[in-house]
Amino acid sequence: MTVTKVVVNSWNEWDPLKHVIVGRPDGTMIQAPEPAIIRDFSKDGLPKGLYGPLPDDMLAMATEQMDSFAALLEKRGIRVDRPTPLDFSQCVSTPDWTQKTMFGCMPPRDVLLTVGHEILEATMSYRSRWFEYLCYRPLLQRYFQEDPNFRWEAAPKPRLTNAAYKPDYWDEYRTWTEDQKAQAMRTGDWILTEIEPLFDAADITRAGKDLFVYHSSVTNSAGISWLRRHFPDHRLHPVYFRETNPIHIDATFVLLRPGLASVNRQRVPLEPRMVELFKRNDWELVECAEPALDGYPPLSFCSRWLSMNILMLDPKTICVDAQEAKQMEQFDQLGFEVIPVPFGAVSAFGGGLHCATADVYREGKCDDYFPHQIGGY
């Protein structure tokens, strides 16, 4: 009898993790201005529009923390692969545009979405991140050779012309009333137009047959629609939260185990059907603990809510940033074995423990955790 080797398999956020990609902080840039984003770290001494590599001392600390995290996972018997960084300081172009720098490859979760035997390369919606998938190609090629059932997919590469972005969006946004901002939060009316499908993989969270997709500033309706058509055997639910700088679901709404999710205490859900769906299926939504930090970490575009950016090793074991004492205590009270992982130095490189990883293999199969659905949602 021939036994087929399964390399890629992961249907949710909590089944026992056996194989994972952990990113690398090497060469990460504060990216050059582009239509989607102009970095402004004036409070950290880097005025709006300036760009360049993150400082060497920060890189050394982030490297040390990421390598230790990878070693911790390996010690627990989890296979760890790492991407191949590019020279992110290089100028890149397509026939449509030129972008003075790329970004980095610390957060594989932003680029790679694993659903069952498939790994899907996201479109991404920043020009500086258009080529980031190349860092993962050596790994994906290897999985393709090792696993005859691996579905290697890439969403249509977007053109990202100026027409993909609303002109003068950020200038206008600054003049908006609170009501206008509230309306944007409820409808996902952010900088992206609907000219082509756009999404980051980190806007999606997985629970077996159900996928929840955040209509954030880096994912548009066309992106959600493309995902729905791409995963016809799944139920795909758009979600919205109270946050004026929305990027990715994994510091906002985090699935912990069947029946339990952590909800950001500030970024409350704005889609009543989502809340109803969880209620109907007896899920408990627990408000996250207060984060350790007051504001954004230095030179970081990620918020203090990385406190809830965790990695589940199995339904009972959770990796949490070691500086998040209150969050760890809450998880402990919820019955988890908490593994504190020093990771604060990695924030500026693009995120926390969930961002820094992408699932390759978790035990388990596609189960239905939401048998009681809501018509039309």
Site of interaction with ligand ABU (CB under 6 A):
202, 247-248, 250-252, 302-303, 305, 351, 355
DSSP-derived 3-state class of residue 138: helix
Closer CB to ligand ABU, 103 or 150, in the complex? 103
Measured CA to CA in angstroms, residue 47 lies from 53, 257, 349 at distances of 14, 42, 18
Per-residue 3-state assignment (H helix, E strand, C coil) for 177-214: CHHHHHHHHHHCCCCECCCCCCCCHHHEEEEECEEEEE
Q: Where are the alpha helices (DSSP H) in the chain?
A: 56-75, 108-111, 137-146, 169-175, 178-187, 221-230, 272-280, 325-333
Give the alpha-carbon dihedral of 278, 308, 115, 190, to 10 degrees: 80
Distance CA 112, CA 146 (A): 18
Closer CB to ligand ABU, 131 or 296, in the complex? 296
Give the alpha-carbon dihedral of 270, 272, 276, 277, to 10 degrees: -70
User: What is the closest distance, in whole angstroms, from the C-beta atom of residue 271 to ligand ABU in the complex?
Assistant: 17
Under 8 Å between Cβ of 261 and 278: yes
User: What is the closest distance, in whole angstroms, from the C-beta atom of residue 250 to ligand ABU in the complex?
Assistant: 5
User: What is the closest distance, in whole angstroms, from the C-beta atom of residue 351 to ligand ABU in the complex?
Assistant: 4
User: What is the closest distance, in whole angstroms, from the C-beta atom of residue 185 to ligand ABU in the complex?
Assistant: 14
Closer CB to ligand ABU, 288 or 339, in the complex? 288
Distance CA 341, CA 79 (A): 18
Distance CA 233, CA 229 (A): 9
User: What is the closest distance, in whole angstroms, from the C-beta atom of residue 166 to ligand ABU in the complex?
Assistant: 22
- Residues with catalytic function: 200, 248, 355
Distance CA 218, CA 195 (A): 14
User: What is the closest distance, in whole angstroms, from the C-beta atom of residue 206 to ligand ABU in the complex?
Assistant: 15
Closer CB to ligand ABU, 7 or 345, in the complex? 345
DSSP 316: T
Which residues make Cβ contacts (< 8 Å) with residue 53, sequence separation at least 6?
Answer: 27, 28, 29, 30, 59, 88, 89
DSSP-derived 3-state class of residue 239: strand
User: What is the closest distance, in whole angstroms, from the C-beta atom of residue 155 to ligand ABU in the complex?
Assistant: 18
Q: Name the nearest CA neighbour of 348 among 301, 293, 291.
A: 301
Closer CB to ligand ABU, 348 or 360, in the complex? 348
Closer CB to ligand ABU, 76 or 265, in the complex? 265
Closer CB to ligand ABU, 126 or 143, in the complex? 126
Strand pairing category for 210-214 and 235-239:
parallel
